[in-house]
Amino acid sequence: MLPLSIRQWFHRPAIRMGSIDNSRIRMTHTKNAQFVSYLTETGFRRVNGDRYESSLRRRRLLKRLLWVALIGGGAWVVIESARALSMY
């Protein structure tokens, strides 16, 4: 744990969001219960959450594969350059 004097130097004060900040409103557990009920009644977000999550997993997998391909390609370029330089 850091000493009190150092913690005071790095203390970040709470940032208020102006008109967006409704953290002081504690009428319901869900802050905008009427808006949420409107969305459920109108059928907003009928997308299956599992499908959405699986698409996120696919994106993450594709990003990882892209990184592996980039690193592998970079390593291949370095190795081939070293071979070419060693020939001369």
User: In the numeric block, which tokens belong to residue 23?
Assistant: 């953290």
Q: Give per-residue pLDDT as tens, 71-80.
A: 999 999 999 9
Name the nearest CA neighbour of 82 among 74, 63, 39.
74
pLDDT tens for each residue of 5-14: 676 666 665 5
**pLDDT(19) > 60:** no
Predicted confidence (pLDDT) at residue 22 exceeds the cutoff of 60: no
Domain ranges of the chain: 25-87
